[in-house]
Structure 1
């Protein structure tokens, strides 16, 4: 057995074998896969093997699409039939709102290139008469997918991996990991059978590996403890039942082909055929998390007792949808662990704080995702980046503040939400509120309806003061929900008067030390600001794409304050620290500190924002303290507002005159009360994130995770003014080599009267799909929908007429100049 390899993959389920296969196919040699038991002995063996293309995530849609196409090629390569039954997938809807969900999804599918068809209840009945369609509104149909045999799939990928030189070793368990500076030493123990259990023997070896990939499935918590990291991947019970043969189905199959996989999303189940009978897989309420602190050694390819009472509602719903099942008995049942994460998406990418350690964990739809995960993971490891932006799946999107209890409860919620309506403005309720700014209660008392960003409660908008507890949930919609008018009023307040936003969730780091200036000059692509000034800049990946957006405030010659997106504190911090550590020998000592929770942030913006601050600022010459001469645009000053010391930054994400007021978090309520009282006579209005999102689109301000990501360069984002090509910086050569494949632009849209785009829609030039939106909303200034997105460079010119796909219809859209509202920035720079 070899003890020195380039890549060691831990876990022999569908995910692990796919990663090993794709690393070998990408050109790496010396790859070993370790499995503590037998291949497929984790969740793979009891998976139902479904391959749903439907997914609301752009990245996951790409992963699933690749998998379905890849699985169809395996038999030709390996000679093994993976049992892929291409029967299609019919996702039914009982309500108009569910059909709206499908229409929103369909536009995402088009941007990925996933084929779909619409079906009416009559068409469903005509094709599959056993299905009761009397209460259906319609369905979306994917003819290219279906289901596969998970064990056969895994064995086919394992054979393909072996054919490419991968070494697969069974009955070896990874028991310790030690980083040696340029490789990992992994202590492995031989596992042996004893009394029906799998137990460690006295035989151990140490395998040295340049890279390690963990795909440990249900054992993720054990893996996390050994690595000393947080990994919120926790199994949840999932049960499915198999019926005896259904005589009506047997008769139907004499003259017809197999039913597609049937999904009644409103009833929270899937059904497919199985040897003349049916498999029912429900996603019910109250399915418990298991193995929060590790899988018992005695648990192998085992199951939990079935809890039929828990799925009684879903079982009765199956009988309603397929009446012939009422007289059919149960043949078999399964209740096994399936790993989940708090948002239902897997953890794919570099492990937090560690070098050359890669995670492929938390797969609730592991069979569907296995092929694509292996493909894109191999790209990240071999090429440095994947061809799609994988940030939404990065393990560091969950902060180190997260506990096991939080993860378990959120994983249970994610399981329950598999078929619950996924509104684009969806906010899930479990384990909230948890992280709250001091002003939370004050905001709530004034009608705040909160969203959750990295665990922080942040006002989305301010609803009616007498709203019931359910108002925010009831207000959600795929169209303009009840919240929409409140956001309109807030956006108008910023454009016409003054608004106050809680932006405390912003990520904040300090970077200082003798090497700080040289490091940041190399780390970011824009010029560094002078002391007391600020700059917007980007950190690039080595592949030349955008890794992070920063507002940099220069506090001193070698001291900087960096502000970035609130959703990805650990994601940004991990990359920043690792790069600083790598460059310290060259540049000198660099200290990086996460100060996010030390500083609260209020953003005050609007034509009257200076008037409000003038009421409370303490200065020898208060009448000029906020003037352009003493406090110019894009500068930072230490000021005093009442008794509160404030690091004020003259910048506004809304595109109006405004300041970010960074203040000691313990003084936040004092400052809030002070500003609220001072703002009364000026009509100050509290404003939430949704209005801010609309306003920043009117200014064409790009947002990380939308316009900015690891699949596009700053030049493709059309931000050359923030790229200083006269200096050297990380990713510069790669960025220049890429060129401009597509270009970001802003569009005004003549859409439906009751809906706005969400930023997932496909763009068309005539009948040809030419791009996609990355942000969408409503413009209070122009009185119509607005969006930002990517098209080919020749179509990004102002005046270009395009079409946008919304709610299954094409609507007129026009590319406009950047910053269509106040293109000369006169509002931002106005003096006082």
Structure 2
């Protein structure tokens, strides 16, 4: 057995096997896979093998699409039949709202080139008469997918991997990981059978590897402990039953009819497919418990849990309603096994936090569907430095160290239950909340705040009625304009016409200082560094020249900088920043980096009357001039005093109006809130949430990280050349220039439906040709119509170009506007006082 390799993959399920295969296919000729038991002995063996395209995530849709196409090629390459039954996937809707969901998903699917078609109840009944369609509104049909045999596809990938030189070693368990500074040393123990259990023997070896990938499935918590990291990948029980033959189905097939597609009755929380003349019923029911929160028992191998039929009784009765002929079929077999989840249902794929050359592929709730694409795109990340798609939404560092085992277990149970609950774009799931709250949380809640959940933080989305709180259903979500929409409109108008206050405490904040800080940041970011007391918007790039992180940099002193970035990405930004400092500190000198996110609260005050509010409470020898353009110009920072609260005030506003960000000691937040509220009352100041702010920033064409900005586009493609200084050398510059402009970011005003706005997931058309996609969407109070931002081919990124947006299964007229259609000269930001 070899003990020195370039890449070691730990875990022999479908995901791990795919990663080993794709690393070899990408050119790495020294790859080994370790499996503690037999290949497929984890969740792979009891998976139902379905291949659902449906996903609201752009990255995950690409991953699923690759898998489905890749699996169809395996037999030709390996000679092994992967057991792919291309029967299609019929996703049915019992309500108009479910059809709205499918229409939003379908437009997202179009952006990835995923084929689909609509079916009416009559068309379903004509093709598959065993299905009861009496209460259906329609269905979405993917004719290119179906189901696959999980063991067969895994063995096919394993054979393909071996053919490419991968060494696959079974009955070896990874028991320790040690980073030497240049490579990993992995202690592996030989596992042996003893009394039906798998136990460690006395035989151990140490494998040295340049890279390690963990794909340990249900054993993710054990892996996390060995690596000294946190990982919210915890299994949840998943049940499905196999029924005896259905005589009507047997007769239907004997008459020459093709196999039914996978039947997904989302409103009944279940899926059904044929199985040898009978049916398989799988469910995503409420109250399915998390298991193995602290590790898998040594005695648990290819085992199952006790079936809990009472828990799925409602879904079983719904199946009989949907396929009446199955009512007399008996129960043939049952499965209740662990399937890993994460709090948002997406897997953890990418570099491990804080570790070098350690890669995670954990938390797969749809592991068979995602295995092929995960192997392909993770291999790109490892071999080429970046993937062909932005993988940030799957990055393991989207969860920080604040996350606990209890949080992960409860949120994973919630994610499981929500598989078939309507995926409203404005949904806010309630489990484990509130958890991270700024001091002013209770004050804002008392004033009608309805909170969203960002990186564990509670952040106001909008403010509802206070006088009659029971008169408004805050849980009334929608794929169109929800009940919150009018409140967001009033908040946006308040900032455009008067003054509004936004809680931005969740912003990520880092302090970077030391003799090497200036030289390092000059290399790390692509814009000029600001002078002392000024700020700059800038970007840290990937090695491929695409956008890794957006920063507002405030220069506090000659070699001291305050970096502000997106609140959802604290651990993600911190890890990249610290690793870059570790790499470059020997070149530039001593550098400190501190995450000060929880030390500073932030209020953003904006609107033409914002100066009037602050003037009422500012403490200075000449308070009337402190906030003037002369003493406090746009894009500068000043230390000011608001009553008894010292404030690091930054003259910038994400809304495009006169405004300031007020960064303050978080322990003084309630005092500052009270002062601002009192001073704001005569000016009619309104509390404003994130949804109105999101609309306002689109009117200014302000790009948002995770939407317009990401690892699949350069700042030049985001049409931000003013923030790129090509006169200096910076990380990613050569690739930035080499890439050129493949597509370009634009802002569009949209003549959409009267009751809906885009969500930023929609396809863009020029005539009958799909030319791009939206990355943001919403409503513009300034223009009285829908607005969106997105990417199109460069030839169409010209003001006045007429396009169409796919919304609610229709094309709606849209027009590319000039950048910053609202106040393009930034006159309102510079209003003097």
Aligned twin of 1:213: 213
Aligned twin of 2:244: 244
Aligned twin of 1:828: 829
Partner-residue secondary structure (3-state), 1:66: helix
1:475 Cα deviation after fit: 2.6
Instruction: Give CA-to-partner distance per residue, 1:464-497, whole Å, 9 cap, x none.
Output: 1156589565331100111000000000000000
TM-score where L is the length of structure 2:
0.99
1:409 Cα deviation after fit: 0.1
**Alignment of structure 1 residues 267-666 onto 2, 5 Å:** 267-465=268-466, 473-666=474-667
Determine if contact 1:103/1:807 at 8 Å carries over to the other structure: yes
Structure 2: distance between partners of 1:224 and 1:431:
22
Structure 1: distance between partners of 2:28 and 2:327:
54
Assess, with a 3 A threshold, how the Cα gap between structure 1 residues 644 and 472 changes in structure 2: closer, same or farther: farther
The answer to whether the aligner puts 1:720 opposite 2:721 as a matched pair is yes
Structure 1: distance between partners of 2:762 and 2:578:
36
Aligned twin of 2:151: 151
Aligned twin of 2:74: 74
The answer to whether the aligner puts 1:196 opposite 2:226 as a matched pair is no
Aligned twin of 1:759: 760
Determine if contact 1:490/1:687 at 8 Å carries over to the other structure: yes
1:182 Cα deviation after fit: 1.0
Structure 1: distance between partners of 2:435 and 2:250:
53
Assess, with a 3 A threshold, how the Cα gap between structure 1 residues 33 and 245 changes in structure 2: closer, same or farther: same
Determine if contact 2:625/2:631 at 8 Å carries over to the other structure: yes
Aligned twin of 2:52: 52
Structure 1: distance between partners of 2:495 and 2:348:
38
Determine if contact 1:772/1:789 at 8 Å carries over to the other structure: yes
**Alignment of structure 1 residues 114-153 onto 2, 5 Å:** 114-153=114-153
Aligned twin of 2:678: 677
Structure 2: distance between partners of 1:574 and 1:472:
40
Determine if contact 1:545/1:714 at 8 Å carries over to the other structure: yes
Determine if contact 2:640/2:649 at 8 Å carries over to the other structure: yes
Structure 2: distance between partners of 1:464 and 1:190:
64
1:543 Cα deviation after fit: 1.0
Instruction: Give CA-to-partner distance per residue, 1:180-236, whole Å, 9 cap, x none.
Output: 111000000000000000000000000000000000000000000000000000000
- Which ranges of 4 or more aligned residues in structure 1 deviate by more than 2 Å? 466-475
Aligned twin of 2:94: 94
1:19 Cα deviation after fit: 0.2
1:325 Cα deviation after fit: 1.3
Aligned twin of 1:816: 817
Aligned twin of 2:19: 19
Assess, with a 3 A threshold, how the Cα gap between structure 1 residues 83 and 480 changes in structure 2: closer, same or farther: same
Structure 2: distance between partners of 1:177 and 1:205:
12
- Which moves more between the two structures, 472-481 or 331-340? 472-481
Assess, with a 3 A threshold, how the Cα gap between structure 1 residues 335 and 466 changes in structure 2: closer, same or farther: farther
Aligned twin of 1:733: 734
Partner-residue secondary structure (3-state), 1:69: helix
Instruction: Give CA-to-partner distance per residue, 1:280-322, whole Å, 9 cap, x none.
Output: 0000000000000000000000000000000001111101111
Partner-residue secondary structure (3-state), 2:581: helix
Determine if contact 2:474/2:484 at 8 Å carries over to the other structure: no
Structure 1: distance between partners of 2:467 and 2:163:
67
Q: Which runs of 5+ in 1 are unaligned?
A: none
Aligned twin of 1:105: 105
Instruction: Give CA-to-partner distance per residue, 1:724-767, whole Å, 9 cap, x none.
Output: 00000000001100000000000000000000000000000000
1:327 Cα deviation after fit: 1.1
The answer to whether the aligner puts 1:30 opposite 2:30 as a matched pair is yes
Structure 2: distance between partners of 1:426 and 1:734:
38
Partner-residue secondary structure (3-state), 1:318: helix
Partner-residue secondary structure (3-state), 1:645: strand
Aligned twin of 1:704: 705
Instruction: Give CA-to-partner distance per residue, 1:120-172, whole Å, 9 cap, x none.
Output: 01111111111111111000000000000000000000000000000000000
Aligned twin of 1:83: 83
Assess, with a 3 A threshold, how the Cα gap between structure 1 residues 529 and 472 changes in structure 2: closer, same or farther: farther
Structure 2: distance between partners of 1:744 and 1:260:
39
Instruction: Give CA-to-partner distance per residue, 1:366-406, whole Å, 9 cap, x none.
Output: 00000000000000000000010000000000111000000
What is the count of residue pairs matched by the alignment? Answer: 832
Structure 2: distance between partners of 1:563 and 1:469:
38
Aligned twin of 1:768: 769
Assess, with a 3 A threshold, how the Cα gap between structure 1 residues 407 and 647 changes in structure 2: closer, same or farther: same
Determine if contact 1:447/1:467 at 8 Å carries over to the other structure: no
Partner-residue secondary structure (3-state), 1:407: helix
Structure 2: distance between partners of 1:165 and 1:463:
61
Structure 1: distance between partners of 2:545 and 2:533:
29
Instruction: Give CA-to-partner distance per residue, 1:313-352, whole Å, 9 cap, x none.
Output: 1111101111111111100000000000000000000000
Q: Which runs of 5+ in 2 are unaligned?
A: none
Instruction: Give CA-to-partner distance per residue, 1:42-66, whole Å, 9 cap, x none.
Output: 0000000000001110000000000
Aligned twin of 2:781: 780
Determine if contact 2:450/2:474 at 8 Å carries over to the other structure: no
Structure 2: distance between partners of 1:396 and 1:468:
37
Structure 2: distance between partners of 1:18 and 1:185:
23
Determine if contact 1:617/1:640 at 8 Å carries over to the other structure: yes
Structure 1: distance between partners of 2:14 and 2:253:
31
Structure 2: distance between partners of 1:82 and 1:162:
16
Partner-residue secondary structure (3-state), 1:432: coil
Structure 2: distance between partners of 1:118 and 1:472:
32
Determine if contact 1:513/1:590 at 8 Å carries over to the other structure: yes
Determine if contact 1:449/1:472 at 8 Å carries over to the other structure: no
Assess, with a 3 A threshold, how the Cα gap between structure 1 residues 643 and 797 changes in structure 2: closer, same or farther: same
Structure 2: distance between partners of 1:197 and 1:561:
55
